[in-house]
Structure 1
């Protein structure tokens, strides 16, 4: 970990260094492919906000509106598994997704995109 603690973003047991794209979960380094990292970081910049599929696809992938793909769902599922986010990363029916405001409890490994 770097000495510059101000650069780190913390969410429950997650620590993210945006300078090096390093992610730690419960003190263990977790490798995320670039797009999973970008998606996670976007959620961390907007905690508690419901983000539409359109917003996420445009912000993270630069995808045009109306594009039909399961890419987002698959990446959400992977983040839930790898980072044990469980219900912290919520599906908002017919809208999109939301990263709940931070808590201290362990959310488990549930994966239902």
Structure 2
């Protein structure tokens, strides 16, 4: 198995060197830049397995880098961990809302960052490997574009497939309609928010067609989640 590839975007060079040394010691491959614009260029040339991204960086803020990665269909599913000295709840929420998978407040130990990266990679690696995603009795072949539930094939349209894939990559997570719009449709900004509800209904109808329990949970005023425990 090839070494996991991390893109580290950090303009504190002493901290960047320290983090890089610890990750290389753990068997990771590191690309490094202090510049937000260059980070986007690196990702476009060779997608990393995960991006570790500081909030305050040169030329383009970490928040804007995260936003652009999430709105591009080709990079929407790359895991992102944000780092920042901004530890207020409002800042953490903003970072997560914009699309970060985790948020780490400075100062932190390299050991904690490595543990956070490993946790995110364990959760996301099936999608990155382009293999099979499974949750409860749902199985998705991301290469062959096939979905089964309880062993029975489920026909899905392209949009419902992408929507289900996003849920399978983040089981239990509650996603707002806006977040789903960014993740599934990318920068097709002409799509209306209410369109999400239409595709959720179509997805529910398809995966519940054989009398299965509704595994998609509606969270009032918040959004939707793929949640088997809610129907258990």
TM-score range, shorter chain: 0.7 to 0.9
User: Is the contact made by 2:204 and 2:216 (CA closer than 8 Å) also made in structure 1?
Assistant: yes
Match in the other structure for 1:56: 180
TM-score (norm 2): 0.38
Q: 1:53 to 1:104 in 2, by over 3 A?
A: closer
Determine whether 1:100 maps to 2:100.
no
The aligned length equals: 100
The whole-number CA distance in structure 1 between the counterparts of 2:142 and 2:191 is 28
Are 1:75 and 2:199 an aligned pair? yes
Shift, 1:98, TM fit: 1.0
Following the alignment from structure 2 to structure 1, what is the Cα–Cα distance between the partners of residues 150 and 135? 11
Given the superposition, is the C-alpha separation of residues 75 and 36 from structure 1 closer, same or farther in structure 2, using an over 3 Å criterion?
same
* Deviation of 1:53 (Å): 0.8
| Equivalent position of 1:109 in the other structure | none
Matches for 1:36-47 after TM superposition, within 5 Å: 36-47=160-171
Larger radius of gyration: 2
RMSD value over aligned CA atoms?
A: 2.7
Q: Contact 2:175 / 2:224 at 8 angstroms: preserved in 1?
A: yes
* Structure 1 stretches of 4+ moved >3 Å: 63-69, 101-105
CA–CA distance in structure 2, aligned partners of residues 99 and 40 of structure 1 = 9
Q: Give structure 1 stretches of 5+ with no counterpart.
A: 1-5, 106-113
Aligned to 1:19: 143
